[in-house]
């Protein structure tokens, strides 16, 4: 199909939900129509995506070496790699590819494709490549680290004996999506490793193929008839760009779409009363947190940090405007996953905050600026903080902006306080420890490590080393004990206050069943959906 025909086909499919109600009730039985904000999508390349909406769709286009299943989100299951062995020294992994699997093109899925895909991830070096580097596979060493043994086997040799549990969990993320190397190589341009082609096409072995994309309008997926597992019941999925939650609600209630993905808690609560709709909730490994800039001499005082933990009305927010969509979580590793601790050392206590401010020499209060994104629930959280902080004369000025502006201020250290979030990429605590705990003594603009501690102007050498060492502990019980200590130290010492864990509420027509959202940001499956 030519590009122009593909675009026209996508336009036709993307518009049918608007006119269909005139001819029939609801959407076609073989088509799922999803209303959500997809305006941020820039690419469908599994090596180059950087936002949630694109990652979700990529998960339906590409199969991975391992996957997160609904039955056990903690333990990845074999997918394209059906078995593996680890050498005695813990450095070399030998993977055996599942036989009889083909790409949507009809080409067989081989070990060569897996090695090509992982090398491509490392060389391109975007977010997926950064995650792969957490087990030591980088652009510099990937040619030696990844070796094809035969059509069905390949090896991966690591520079350190990382925990095998960690390694397999890393390979359950989207970074292990296997691309059709023959197709991608045919479409390479000027050594781009097929990035231009895969930005707008798919070359995978997943349950669906990319049929059409109209930026900021619609994305259409078509069932992959060569899929190696049972064929999806839904023939076609149309993601209809709908930026406003109120518009999503109207479309869903009218039956013009089957599912809405971006509805705030108050609208969900109302829609739950509608017998034609159903609300499903999924706990996610994503967090909201408050970061304190340590370059502000007042915020660098330990008493001020502790005082702020007592000025946050965690339970009040959870029970009102966040109801059903957030739950209180005060550790950098979300609940429900291996090594999570559910302790809550932070309490809403105005008197304790007053006492700590006096100890810090700030009994007359402070003037601080809070950087806030302009999308739900950040303005609402900010207003709650502004109200409770004012009880001890800590005066917050809210600086509200779009996501990109807020994050640029965060990375440039141009803030006092900032509300931010974090989505986990694979189900092992190492990923969050790398970003929330591990830092460097170099806090300058040219630092080689620019994790969240760097953004706050903070470095804790002792806890950073503890976190780096924990990734190498093979024994699961010993590793759990190490991470328990690390999480407790983080809660006591780091200038990031974890507040909430995400709960993803999905509102669907009552006849839609089988949709699954896992804990990590790209563990989303339409494969089992029926209607």
**Percent of residues in the chain assigned helix, strand, coil, to nearest 5:** 35, 25, 40
Long-range CB pairs of 153-157, under 8 A, 24+ apart, other chains included: 153/94, 153/95, 153/96, 153/97, 153/111, 154/94, 154/95, 154/97, 154/111, 154/112, 154/114, 154/115, 155/92, 155/93, 155/94, 155/95, 156/92, 156/93, 156/95, 156/118, 157/91, 157/92, 157/93
264 domain-assigned: no
- Closest to 315 in 3D by CA, of 284, 287, 346: 346
Beta strand residue intervals within 322-431, DSSP E = 326-328, 366-373, 394-401, 417-423
Residues 6+ apart with CB under 8 A from 17: 27, 33, 238, 240, 251, 256, 257
Domain count, the chain: 2
**345 with 487, same domain?**
yes
Q: How far apart are CA 438 and CA 239, in angstroms?
A: 38
Q: Residue 402: what are its φ and ψ, rounded to 5°?
A: -75, 170
Residue 449 and residue 461 in contact, taking contact as beta carbons nearer than 8 Å: no
**296 with 419, same domain?**
yes
pLDDT in tens, 273-308: 999 999 999 999 999 999 999 999 999 999 999 999
Domain range enclosing 346: 283-504
Strand partners, 33: 238
Domain boundary among 140, 163, 193: 193
- Assigned token pair, 129: 């490549």
How high is the pLDDT of residue 392? 97
Distance of CA 82 to the CA centre of its chain: 25
292 domain-assigned: yes
CATH, residue 369: 3.10.105.10
Residue 386 and residue 397 in contact, taking contact as beta carbons nearer than 8 Å: no
How high is the pLDDT of residue 209? 98
| Integer CA distances (angstroms), 92 to 155, 156, 159, 426, 494, in order | 7, 6, 9, 21, 35
113 domain-assigned: yes
H-helix segments, 125-235? 127-132, 142-145, 164-170, 181-186, 195-200
49 domain-assigned: no
Residue 382 belongs to what H/E stretch? Answer: helix 378-389
Domain boundary among 159, 193, 227: 193
511 domain-assigned: no
How high is the pLDDT of residue 72? 81
Burial of 246 (0-12, 13-18, 19+ CB in 10 A): exposed
Other CB atoms within 10 Å distance of the CB of residue 267: 18
pTM for the whole structure: 0.89
209 domain-assigned: no
Q: How far apart are CA 48 and CA 175, in angstroms?
A: 10
Burial of 222 (0-12, 13-18, 19+ CB in 10 A): middle
- Assigned token pair, 92: 């070399």
pLDDT in tens, 346-383: 999 999 999 999 999 998 899 999 999 998 899 999 99
* Cα radius of gyration (the chain): 24
Crossing angle, helix 302-309 and helix 350-359, to 10 degrees?
A: 170
CATH, residue 111: 3.90.76.10
92 domain-assigned: yes
How high is the pLDDT of residue 12? 38
Q: How far apart are CA 40 and CA 51, in angstroms?
A: 7
Residues 6+ apart with CB under 8 A from 23: none
How high is the pLDDT of residue 221? 98
pLDDT under 50 in the chain at which residues?
A: 1-24
**183 with 296, same domain?**
no
Q: Are strands 417-423 and 366-373 parallel, antiparallel or unpaired?
A: parallel
Residue corresponding to tokens 């370059």: 295
**181 with 287, same domain?**
no
How high is the pLDDT of residue 25? 57
291 domain-assigned: yes
Residue 488 belongs to what H/E stretch? Answer: helix 476-493
Residue 355 and residue 339 in contact, taking contact as beta carbons nearer than 8 Å: no
How high is the pLDDT of residue 73? 77
How high is the pLDDT of residue 51? 78
Domain boundary among 193, 209, 230: 193
- Assigned token pair, 49: 């995506």
**301 with 403, same domain?**
yes
**171 with 290, same domain?**
no
- Assigned token pair, 518: 């896992």
């Amino acid at each position: 199909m030519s590009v122009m025909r593909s675009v026209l086909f996508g336009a036709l499919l993307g518009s049918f939900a608007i006119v269909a109600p005139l001819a029939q009730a609801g959407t076609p039985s073989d088509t799922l129509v999803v209303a959500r904000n997809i305006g941020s999508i820039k690419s469908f390349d599994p090596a180059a995506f950087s936002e949630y909406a694109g990652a979700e769709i990529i998960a339906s286009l590409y199969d991975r070496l391992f996957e997160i299943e609904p039955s056990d989100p903690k333990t990845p299951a074999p997918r394209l790699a059906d078995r593996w062995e680890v050498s005695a020294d813990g450095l070399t992994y030998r993977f055996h590819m599942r036989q009889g699997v083909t790409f949507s093109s009809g080409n067989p899925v081989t070990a060569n494709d897996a090695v090509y895909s992982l090398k491509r991830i490392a060389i391109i070096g975007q977010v997926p490549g950064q995650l792969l580097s957490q087990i030591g596979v980088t652009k510099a060493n990937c040619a030696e680290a990844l070796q094809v043994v035969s059509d069905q086997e390949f090896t991966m040799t690591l520079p350190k004996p990382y925990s095998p549990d960690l390694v397999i969990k890393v390979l359950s993320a989207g970074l292990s999506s296997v691309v059709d190397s023959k197709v991608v190589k045919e479409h390479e341009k000027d050594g781009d490793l097929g990035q231009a082609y895969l930005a707008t096409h798919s070359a995978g072995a997943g349950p669906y193929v990319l049929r059409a994309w109209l930026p900021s309008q619609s994305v259409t997926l078509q069932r992959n008839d060569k899929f190696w597992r049972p064929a999806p019941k839904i023939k076609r999925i149309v993601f209809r760009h709908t930026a406003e939650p109120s518009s999503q609600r109207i479309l869903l209630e009218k039956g013009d779409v089957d599912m809405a993905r971006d509805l705030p808690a108050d609208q969900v609560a109302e829609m739950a009363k509608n017998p034609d709709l159903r609300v499903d909730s999924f706990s996610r490994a994503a967090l909201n947190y408050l970061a304190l800039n340590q370059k502000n001499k007042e915020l660098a005082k330990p008493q001020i940090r502790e005082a702020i933990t007592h000025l946050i009305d965690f339970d009040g927010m959870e029970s009102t405007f966040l109801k059903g969509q957030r739950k209180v979580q005060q550790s950098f590793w979300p609940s429900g996953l291996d090594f999570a601790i559910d302790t809550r050392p932070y309490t809403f206590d105005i008197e304790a905050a007053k006492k700590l401010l006096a100890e810090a020499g700030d009994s007359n209060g402070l003037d601080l600026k809070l950087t806030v994104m302009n999308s739900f629930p950040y303005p609402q959280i900010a207003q709650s903080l502004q109200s409770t902080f004012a009880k001890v004369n800590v005066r917050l000025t809210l600086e509200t902006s779009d996501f990109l502006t807020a994050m640029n201020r965060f990375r440039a250290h141009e803030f006092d306080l900032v509300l931010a979030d974090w989505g986990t990429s694979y189900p092992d605590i190492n990923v969050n420890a790398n970003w929330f705990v591990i830092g460097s003594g170099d806090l300058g603009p040219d630092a080689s490590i620019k994790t969240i501690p760097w953004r706050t102007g903070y470095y804790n050498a002792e806890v950073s080393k503890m976190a780096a060492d924990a990734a190498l502990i093979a024994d699961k019980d010993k590793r759990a004990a190490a991470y328990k200590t690390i999480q407790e130290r983080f809660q006591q010492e780091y200038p990031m206050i974890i507040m909430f864990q995400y709960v993803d509420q999905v509102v669907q027509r009552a006849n839609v069943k089988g949709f699954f959202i896992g804990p990590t940001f790209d563990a989303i499956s339409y494969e089992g959906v029926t209607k």
